[in-house]
Amino acid sequence: MIVSFLLRTGLRKGELLALKRQDINFEKNLLSFRSLEMIKKS
């Protein structure tokens, strides 16, 4: 089910994992994305 969702929406794994409930509008069937920051490990 998750793989199907990723393929249908074009989301990357990190974007899916970063989603929070407040990012999903069930009434309008919309997803909102906040800016994702890459953290470089040194």
Residue written as token pair 């089910």: 1
Amino acid of residue 3: V
38 within some domain: no
pLDDT at 36: 54
* Cα distance between residue 17 and residue 32, in whole Å: 13
21 within some domain: yes
pLDDT at 27: 94
pLDDT at 42: 46
41 within some domain: no
13 within some domain: yes
* Cα distance between residue 29 and residue 8, in whole Å: 14
Q: How many domains does the chain have?
A: 1
15 within some domain: yes
1-42 tens-digit pLDDT: 778 878 888 888 888 888 888 888 899 988 887 655 544 444
19 within some domain: yes
22 within some domain: yes
Domain range for 7 is 2-31
42 within some domain: no
